[in-house]
Amino acid sequence: MNMRSEYKNLRVFVTGAGGFIGSHLVEALVDAGADVRALVRYTSRGKWGHLEQLAPEVRNSLEVLLGDVRDAQFMRKHIQGCHVVFHLAALIGIPYSYEASESYVDTNVRGTLNVLEAVRATGVQRVVVTSTSEVYGTALHTPIDETHPLQAQSPYSASKIAADKLAESYHLSFALPVVTVRPFNTYGPRQSARAVIPTIVSQLLARASQLHLGSLDPVRDLLYVKDTVRGFLRAGVVQQAVGRVINLGTGQGISIGDLSRVIMKVVGREVPIVEDAERIRPQASEVRLLIANAEVATRVLGWKPEVSLTEGLQKVAEYIGGNMGAYRVGSYAV
């Protein structure tokens, strides 16, 4: 799916650009010919996150801003003049949301409000808001379509539900051109050890004698990051997407235990699996079953996943193998 004709010379603003999905999206937007303004959260060290890993020709094509979505004045100033906004900035770690719920509300709810207000004030043509399959909670029916009830099984998911509903309200109240994209479990190169696939791969590549994990029975629909990004790109330009919530997923589920065994085959190492109490979430908070119905994405966006699980896992193993210093294998990443 060639997006160059759609994005060439468009001024695009990306929040959360230094993150896992954000950095891949920025890369794809530059390749599509967009003029990209990339927002990375300010720190005194001036780091660009994963944008620092992009090829020099990509980095040199970007306007990188250091700032914070929690600052409404900053957002309005810098979104001015953009055509499309992709809003990915968020706190995403579920375990940490048990410890610091207020910070999730500040970033995920107020940050989204600031983006929506900035878009409303500056006349942006499209804003794509990033949701998560976690808003569904444990599936009441599968596959999960966009009409499935929302269930806040963690403070993180509650903050994302609130953000999604703000986006919905701004579309209905002010005709804001909003699309809410709801990816299921995205994985790929640059993902941190906070997520389960890098946790498994990094332990195996570090020659650990045991694989330490949390619950093994939850089932997830795993979507390779390049497929996720293709869905975002389509959501940013397809007119029929405005006002919709759109799932991105494969429609296939795999348990964490079975996933571990698939990864062992990919990596070429088999070790015993140990359920680590530190990694197990509160029973009522753990989302047990997530499998996507992505028919809307196919019908409206013309999108389907292209990368198989085995192919995607091989790419992750290659990346982590070349970047082991970024993974603290001996400690649990919250």
Residue-wise pLDDT for 74-101, tens only, equals 999 999 999 999 999 999 999 999 999 9
Residue-wise pLDDT for 291-314, tens only, equals 999 999 999 999 999 999 999 999
* Of 127, 254, 96, 234, the residue nearest 187 (C-alpha): 254
From residue 52, alpha-carbon distances to 22, 42, 298 in Å are 12, 14, 33
Contacts of 269 (CB under 8 A, 6+ apart): 204, 207
Per-residue pLDDT averaged across 209-230, rounded? 94
Q: Is the dihedral of CA 325, 329, 331, 334 positive or negative?
A: positive
* Of 13, 49, 57, 53, the residue nearest 31 (C-alpha): 57
Is residue 305 within 8 A of residue 227, CB to CB? The reply is yes
**According to DSSP H, which parts of 101-250 are helical?**
101-104, 111-122, 155-174, 196-205, 225-235
From residue 94, alpha-carbon distances to 48, 113, 280, 286 in Å are 23, 21, 11, 10
Asked, for residue 228, whether it belongs to a domain, the answer is yes
Residue-wise pLDDT for 144-164, tens only, equals 999 999 999 999 999 999 999
Structural domains of the chain, count = 1
- Give the model's confidence band at 334: pLDDT under 50 very low, under 70 low, under 90 confident, else very high: low
Asked, for residue 265, whether it belongs to a domain, the answer is no
Task: State the Cα–Cα distance between residues 164 and 233, nearest whole angstrom.
Answer: 19
Asked, for residue 331, whether it belongs to a domain, the answer is no
Per-residue pLDDT averaged across 128-152, rounded? 97
Asked, for residue 322, whether it belongs to a domain, the answer is yes
Per-residue pLDDT averaged across 183-189, rounded? 97
For residue 5 the two structure tokens come to 């004709």
Asked, for residue 1, whether it belongs to a domain, the answer is no
Mapped onto helix, strand or coil, the DSSP state of residue 292 is: strand
CATH number of 193's domain: 3.40.50.720
Asked, for residue 269, whether it belongs to a domain, the answer is no
Asked, for residue 69, whether it belongs to a domain, the answer is yes
Half-sphere exposure of 191 (CA within 13 A, CB side): 27
Per-residue pLDDT averaged across 245-269, rounded? 96
Mean pLDDT of the chain: 94
pLDDT value of position 114 = 98
Q: 310-331: string of b/e by CB count within 10 Å (b at 16+)?
A: eebbebbbebbeeeeeebebee
Q: Above 90 in pLDDT, residue 176?
A: yes
Q: Above 90 in pLDDT, residue 277?
A: no
Q: Above 80 in pLDDT, residue 140?
A: yes
Q: Above 70 in pLDDT, residue 1?
A: no
pLDDT over 90, % of the chain? 87
Beta-bridge partners for 144: 292
Per-residue pLDDT averaged across 31-46, rounded? 95
How many residues does the structure list for the chain? Answer: 334
Report DSSP state, residue 70. T
For residue 322 the two structure tokens come to 């070349």
Contacts of 163 (CB under 8 A, 6+ apart): 90, 108, 109, 111, 112, 129, 131
More confidently predicted of 274 and 312: 312
Q: Above 80 in pLDDT, residue 330?
A: no
- The pTM of the full predicted model, rounded to 2 decimals, is 0.95
Asked, for residue 110, whether it belongs to a domain, the answer is yes
DSSP per position, 233-282: HHHTT-GGGTT-EEEE--S--EEHHHHHHHHHHHHT----EEE-GGGPPP
* Of 247, 251, 233, 250, the residue nearest 296 (C-alpha): 247
CB atoms within 10 A of CB 238: 18
Q: Above 90 in pLDDT, residue 333?
A: no
Q: Above 90 in pLDDT, residue 287?
A: no
State the residue range of the domain holding 223. 7-254+277-326
